[in-house]
Structure 1
């Protein structure tokens, strides 16, 4: 990679030296992916992944022995972090800001396999997007997430809202509606997300649910609108997940969302091949933020409540 070199367990990236260890450690046995392959993935994907991590309080899920063993969530920046790692204090937590490749690779070496981010940047308390998390009970029920996504897209198109979709990297789909920054609060967006979720359940009660308790959902797809809230997080675009297939939370085109779509199409290797042949669908998000008629829609929903 231009601007970097590896020698004797060290990787130099733009003047920063990163200690690299245990490159032959197997992280995903089923897929035969070791630590070296994972770090190479982060290096190759960084130009697409970093814009979504930048200036957001980061929570990572670390797997010290690979995905087949114990894991833990980490919010606080450890004391041993190198000086180039940016942090920000929020309440009693010193969060990492993953704003550059050096930090991304260092965290990869710490075996952070999952990167979870909030819906707002550190510069604002307002979300930069609305996200619906469509969570079926298993991968075998993935078609329910597809059904929900298509129905939501139909509604959003009628409302003239631009939307984007990605796989969760596990068993569901996630729909993004970018917003003009610093314009709408989480209370504002909750009015909208609850309306859409209630409408879907009302239209297809046998397929969808907003029941929070998993043991009460049955075989229905959970339309998670409550996760979109201050302090909550979602898996970052292009982050791997801690499942045996090394699946990636992957932005896709709406045209790909059909009954032929399956989560296992988006392994780490498949995503690397994918980005060589097409642009990131999420790259168009910023160009539509100011065009969204969300204010008008919100006003209409609030007037209905009066």
Structure 2
């Protein structure tokens, strides 16, 4: 039977402008990135969804190889409707996508996104410039395995669980990477940048193989790593983990994202995060400039994906 969830949880999924999307890496770690789900969900079928572009990143390749994913609804600002819930909602499930959606579906997705990010920009120039961003978008559908809803955004208190029960045991510590666990990029800058942003999320793989996403606080940073305060229940010891710090404005016009993969050592509710890779961007609070940048990045990313044969591997 499909997994379903309560009305108040559905309100969060329907109204939130952003969520943290996590997927598992081949090495057993996790990556977390911000996506805009636009309220895509079907309680009767037990699915949630979001869109992405073929030109942005390697999300689709990763979920094709390992479909277990998670979506964390962790922030209420700038959403639609009148949702005042303080719930933190984590959706875990198995993702699928059609790399070649038909035009009717893309048009429907454009209409659905309008209340969240405004109507799509149209015209001869914009239709051409944003072709990689709009027409090469892909709908990712997650068949829900479990929904966990905490009563507050800091995930304290007893959660409600819909679907599969939570794992009986914590994930065991992982074997350290061959190159060592210490920072490979500037940990001080990583911590300073993350601390300035309102939302910081940590992702790692749970004992049942699904990624999970939790909110964390940045305490300080040094050459040894970024010191975090993590929620109770985060598994102890060392493991691969992803970190996302981000901020956004209404309709996503003006946003910043800082993304890392690395190694975390957890002791109680204190942790040291050693960043191994980094990425990120800052988009100005100007819609025209933002759309020009989106078009450029999507076109460049799509061209690179085609050159490297990655779109063919996805069936496009």
Give the TM-score, by structure 2 length.
0.24
Higher relative strand content: 2
Higher relative helix content: 1
